[in-house]
Amino acid sequence: MKKRIFYISIFTLILTFASCDKFLEFEPYGQPNQLANMTDGQAMQSVYSLFYWQYREGVMGRGFMWYENCSDNLITGRTQAEAQNIKNFIDNGSSGRDVRDNWPQMYQTINYSNLLIKAAPTATKLSEKVRNIVLGHAYFMRAFSYLWLAPWYGDNGPNGGIPIVTEETPLEQMDVVRPASVMENYKMIIEDLQKAADLLPYFDEIPKTDWGLMHKTAAWSLMARTALYAAQYDNSYYAKVIDYTDRVINSGKHALLPNYADVFMMKSNWSPEYIMSVTSTEIDGAKFPGVLFQNGGFGYYNTWGYFQPTLELYNAYEKGDKRLKATITAPGDTLQFIGKQIIWAVNPSSVSSPSALTFCKYLEPFRAADAVGKTVNPNSDNGTTDLSIPLVRYSDVLLMKAEALIWQGKNGDVPYNMVRVRAGLSPKVNATKTDLKNERRCEFALEYGAWRHLDLVRWGDAKDVYAKSLHGYKVNLAAGKVASLDVIEVWPTRTFDPSKHHVFAIPTREIAKGVNLKQNLGY
């Protein structure tokens, strides 16, 4: 059953979005002066409010995917000046209508989390079980929000981290100075996630009506991801990555699905591979699926065509890699879209993608003739689907462990080959850093969270990679078939300055709000 749901801002109640999942179906509760008197039901409503960020177009529609679009995996699929500037590293990239939304939305989540962390311990009407759920989610979402921002904007010098605001920060003092290093953010994130893991249940202990709430292995997985980012500055964190990933692996709560393509099917929203995702429906949720595919959807549904794959990504897949067909559609490939059979770049022959390639990773909800209104949002300006968008998968845990082992000079073959063999490829012996880098690229193409751009930056590869132009195909047809494909340049070389472009500009309107928040150098 689908009901209208609501979100609570820090100070006001705002009517917002809808979902079929019960954990998002409650009336709002949580004015700051009410939190100390929360009952169990009201407290749970305050927990559900922490998930509003998922439904913002500037967060889970395009948002930071414009920053990921800088990577060699993607090109801008249609004219969008702000996106082109971001990809080319030629302006601050902070005033675009999408990327600028992440900072205020995450700090709003941080501030509301702080209110709950401060109020819940002394709320006398709460049962101990609900108190733990409230605190567990408040610590989790505070940590998640900092982790969502910190790698994009913070460093270990010269810019420092991003502002740290806790439950102890008075309202009038929230315009705080940035910490000297992003490592302070990472340490706090890990501490918060450990507190969350201590308080939260395992996923299989959560009632089905509350699926979408957080759990222990999600906290441990994000601890590993945080440690992986921290390891670029302090390699002792690789040992922590192994510790945290082992907690997930040894829990026995997760497993890879046998077929990679099944991961991106609606039936697998809560599969053993699931760790954390954006719970979505055809009423609301992550707008990302509607952002992709062909601009205008060939007249069948108004998909927007913004992010398209490069030939470099296409060629990164080895022969026999099952992930390729589950991720990218090439000229001559057949697919179903709103009940229509489409032979890509043949019938219809006109495609909006400059590379003549497109992504099919999130297309399953669009396949059926009756998809619109059933598994796809009837409002194509709000192109959500019944497919939840993954943020952390079990394969990410395995490859994080493999990376930490390999970077320590140890053997990472066991977790590495679990992912590789699932893709239909032969296992490797003594997998190298190069092997690991390509595995992450092919496994997580076009996924939120496991960002290719941030990988290239932390590995020190971005300058060399971005100095190379990007390519696609020009399709030559004959007798209604693909006769030949010419390789063409679709994006010129770019200049990536590691001393500046390793972070992006903090949104200028956030800088203007106070006096202590300083812009990243060079912007």
Q: Which of 415, 391, 132 is nearest to 250 (CA)?
A: 415
Residue that is last in its domain, among 332, 367, 389: 389
Question: Can you say whether the dihedral through the CA atoms of 16, 20, 21, 23 is positive or negative?
Answer: positive
| CA distance linking residue 523 with residue 518, whole number of Å | 10
Asked whether residue 322 is assigned to any structural domain, the reply reads yes
- The residues, any chain, with a CB within 8 Å of residue 222's CB and separated by 6 or more, are 143, 144, 147, 189, 193, 276, 392
Q: Are residues 331 and 198 in the same domain?
A: no
Residue 359, H or E segment: strand 358-359
pLDDT at 1: 24
Instruction: Tell me, yes or no, whether 362 and 426 share the same domain.
Output: no
Q: CB of 226 within 8 A of CB of 186? A: yes
Please tell me whether residues 147 and 237 are part of one structural domain.
yes
Residue 420: strand, helix, or coil: helix
Cα(211)–Cα(48) distance, rounded to whole angstroms?
A: 11
Distance of alpha carbon 285 from its chain centroid, rounded?
13
Distance (Å, whole) CA 363 – CA 344: 14
Is 321 in the same domain as 437? no
In whole angstroms, what is the distance from residue 154 CA to residue 518 CA? 11
The answer on 189 and 83 residing in a single domain is yes
pLDDT value, residue 79: 85
The two three-digit tokens of residue 336, written as one number: 């179903």
In-domain check, residue 368: yes
Task: Report yes or no on 354 lying in a domain.
Answer: yes
Q: Is 134 found in the same domain as 19?
A: yes
pLDDT in tens, the chain (523 residues): 232 232 333 333 332 322 333 333 333 444 556 788 889 999 998 999 999 899 889 999 999 999 999 999 999 998 888 888 999 998 766 667 789 999 999 999 999 999 999 999 999 999 999 999 999 999 999 999 999 999 999 999 999 999 999 999 987 888 999 999 999 999 999 999 999 999 999 999 999 999 999 999 999 999 999 999 999 999 999 999 999 999 999 999 999 999 999 999 999 999 999 999 999 999 999 999 999 999 999 999 999 999 999 999 999 999 999 999 999 999 999 999 999 999 999 999 999 999 999 999 999 999 999 999 999 999 999 999 999 999 999 999 999 999 999 999 999 999 999 999 999 999 999 999 999 999 999 999 999 999 999 999 999 999 999 999 999 999 999 999 999 999 999 999 999 999 999 999 999 889 998 899 999 999 8
pTM of the model as a whole: 0.94
Q: Are 188 and 299 in a shared domain?
A: no
Residue keyed to tokens 């997930």: 248
**Assigned token pair, 388:** 């939840």
| Enclosing H/E stretch for 204 | none
**CA–CA distances in Å: residue 276 to residues 44, 172, 392:** 19, 34, 5
User: Does residue 455 form part of some domain?
Assistant: yes
Q: Are the C-beta atoms of residues 151 and 229 closer than 8 Å to each other?
A: yes
Residue that finishes a domain, picked among 349, 366, 389:
389
Contact present, 329 and 446 (Cβ < 8 Å):
no
Number of domains comprising the chain: 3
Rounded Cα distance between 523 and 514, Å, is 17
Kindly state the DSSP code that residue 356 receives in the 8-state scheme. S
DSSP codes joined into one string, 111-180: HHHHHHHHHGGG-TT--HHHHHHHHHHHHHHHHHHHHHHHHHH--SSSS-------TTS-GGG-SPPPPS
The predicted pLDDT at position 328 comes to 98
Helices (H), 200-236: 216-230
Looking at 341, 357, 389, which one is the last position of a domain? 389
Q: Is residue 505 part of a domain?
A: no
Judgement on whether residues 107 and 201 belong to the same structural domain of the protein: yes
Structure tokens at 45: 């409503």
The answer to whether the CB of 101 falls within 8 A of the CB of 133 is no
- What tokens were used for 434? 């190069």
Strand ranges for 363-478 from DSSP E: 389-393, 470-478
Q: Is residue 512 part of a domain?
A: no
Q: Say if 514 falls within a structural domain.
A: no
Q: Are residues 396 and 385 in the same domain?
A: no
Q: Could you tell me if 349 and 250 lie in one domain?
A: no
Please name the helix (run of DSSP H) or strand (run of DSSP E) that holds residue 515, with its range, or none. Answer: none
Is 268 inside a domain boundary? no
Q: Which residues of 34-68 are buried (b: 16+ CB within 10 A; e: fewer)?
A: ebeebebebbbbbbbbbbbbbbbbbbbbbbbbbbb
Residue with tokens 């106070």: 514
Sorted by sequence, the CB contacts under 8 Å of residue 285 that are 6+ apart come out as 19, 54, 55, 60, 278, 279, 384, 385, 388, 389
Domain span at residue 352 reads: 288-389
What's phi and psi for 314, nearest 5 deg? -55, -45
Same domain, 118 and 62: yes
Which tokens sit at 449? 């969270």
**Amino acid occupying residue 452:** R
In this structure, the answer to whether residues 357 and 421 fall within a common structural domain is: no
Strand, coil or helix: what is 474?
Answer: strand
CATH for 65: 1.25.40.390
